Amino acid sequence: MLTILFYIFIAVIFIQILHYTILYGNIAFGSSNSQKSSEIIPVSILVYIKDQENNLPAFLPALLNQEHPKFEIILINNASEDNSLEIIESFATGNPKIKIVNVINNEAFWGNKKYALTLGIKVASFNQLLFIEPDALPSSPFWALEMSQKFSSSKGVILGHTQIRKTPKSFISQLLRYQNTFKSTDLFAWSHFGKPIHGNARNQGYKKDLFYKVNGFIREMKIPYGDEYAFIEEIGTKKNTAEAISANSFTVMDIPNTFSTWKEILKTNNLLLKSSKIGHRIKIRFFNFIQLSFFILSAVLLSLIYQWKVVLALFLFRYLIVYFYNNKLFKIFNNKDLIWTLPFLEIIHIFTVSYYSLIHFISRKKI
């Protein structure tokens, strides 16, 4: 029995190394970072707003001050109950770059985000659309330019990264940023190798004609978060999707630095993955299973002192590869400090993700 486990352990390490070198290697070494267009591409920036009065005062100037020669801003207020509408109306006064779409609740589409976005897309002047939300600030004045230059005649879907702002000397902050980094890494990697597995409502783009080609959100209208998951799955392909991985193309968000926040994000991401296409679920779940198997098999074989020198050597070799690639990934996503606590982050993350996957499978819970 131990001999069988030993050979399974070797196979698990081999699969993990292939995963890092082949899949993540494209991100780590920048080979998936598609070329930028040299021409100036006009864009409509769509902002979904729902009770964002606390974020709008800092967000709106950052968006308006983008270094892009030709863009418009479409502010979509989805029946906010706070002062969001008053804030955006005051800000838009006398500014021809800004359009406001004020969505009033109706019985058929009460509070529906996709319905509100559809109304915003209809008034967009340009074919290239960028999407961002007020709780995520552009990381630089060149965000719109960097994202828009990824559009081309063949690229109609643009995927961006939203980083979580670092809280110094906080392990919860490290857990949040570790999980977020690999969510984007998986997104970019699988987009490069096949189809994007989801989008990012706080930093993404697609063409207006591509939206109408599939009749908009008609299939996703009743699905929560369908604008960034089911819809991107529907329109995205390997050939028409580009990834924006430069630091200037990122958006940045502040989130509560608490254990409950981290737990809620893990649960939500797991439920969103559960609602994805089966092929996409298998891609992520399989690697999670392999990663979990590595730690369990390592513990079993080392505790029973079975071929312990070989097991330990393979364990360390695997971590050498993992450290090498993670170091590059953490630098790309501005999380260099995570390398020092990587083993702890990796173990906690994989066991909690596996736990919620099991719980949600047993309960049949849906988002």
Q: 283-336, pLDDT tens digit by residue?
A: 889 999 999 999 999 999 999 989 989 999 999 999 999 999 999 999 999 999
Residue 35 has pLDDT above 80, yes or no: no
Q: 146-159, pLDDT tens digit by residue?
A: 999 999 999 999 99
Q: Which domains occur in the chain, in start order? A: 2-28+277-363 (no CATH), 43-176+195-255 (3.90.550.10)
Q: Give residue 283's pLDDT.
A: 87
Residue 124 has pLDDT above 60, yes or no: yes
Nearest to 241 by CA among 126, 142, 151, 131: 151
Higher pLDDT, 34 or 310: 310
Phi, psi angles (nearest 5°) of residue 44: -105, 125
- Tokens 């209809």 correspond to what residue? 122
Say if residue 340 is exposed, middle or buried (CB neighbours under 10 Å; 0-12, 13-18, 19+): exposed
Query: Helix crossing, 171-193 with 308-332: angle to 10°?
Result: 90
In which band, very low, low, confident or very high, does the pLDDT at 227 lie, cut at 50, 70 and 90? low
Q: Percent of the chain at pLDDT above 90?
A: 73
- Residue pair 26/192 in contact (Cβ under 8 Å)? The answer is yes
CA 197, 251, 188 angle in degrees (round to 5)?
Answer: 25
- C-alpha pair distances (Å), 290 with each of 129, 134, 275, 313, 357: 38, 37, 22, 19, 14
Residue 244 has pLDDT above 80, yes or no: yes
Per residue, the 3-state secondary structure of the chain, as one string, reads CHHHHHHHHHHHHHHHHHHHHHHHHHHHCCCCCCCCCCCCCCEEEEEEECCCCCCHHHHHHHHHCCCCCCEEEEEEEECCCCCHHHHHHHHHCCCCCEEEEEECCCCCCCCCHHHHHHHHHHCCCCCEEEEECCCEEECCCCHHHHHHCCCCCCCCEEECCEEECCCCCCHHHHHHHHHHHHHHHHHHHHHHHCCCCCCCCCCEEEEHHHHHHCCCCCCCCCCCCCCCCHHHHHHCCCCCEEECCCHHHCEEECCCCCHHHHHHHHHHHHHHHHCCCHHHHHHHHHHHHHHHHHHHHHHHHHHCCCCHHHHHHHHHHHHHHHHHHHHHHHHHCCCHHHHHHHHHHHHHHHHHHHHHHHHHHHHCCCC
Nearest to 146 by CA among 74, 210, 68: 68
Q: Give residue 233's pLDDT.
A: 86
Q: Which amino acid is at 73?
A: I
Residue 111 has pLDDT above 90, yes or no: no
Q: How far apart are CA 8 and CA 1, in angstroms?
A: 11
Please report how many Cα atoms fall inside a 13 Å half-sphere around the Cα of residue 156, on the Cβ side. 17
* Strands lying side by side in the sheet with 71-78: 98-103, 71-78, 43-49, 128-132, 204-207, 157-159, 241-243
Residue 197's CB: how many other CB atoms inside 10 A? 23
Q: 252-279, pLDDT tens digit by residue?
A: 999 999 999 999 998 888 888 877 778 8
Higher pLDDT, 268 or 20: 20
Q: How far apart are CA 156 and CA 237, in angstroms?
A: 9
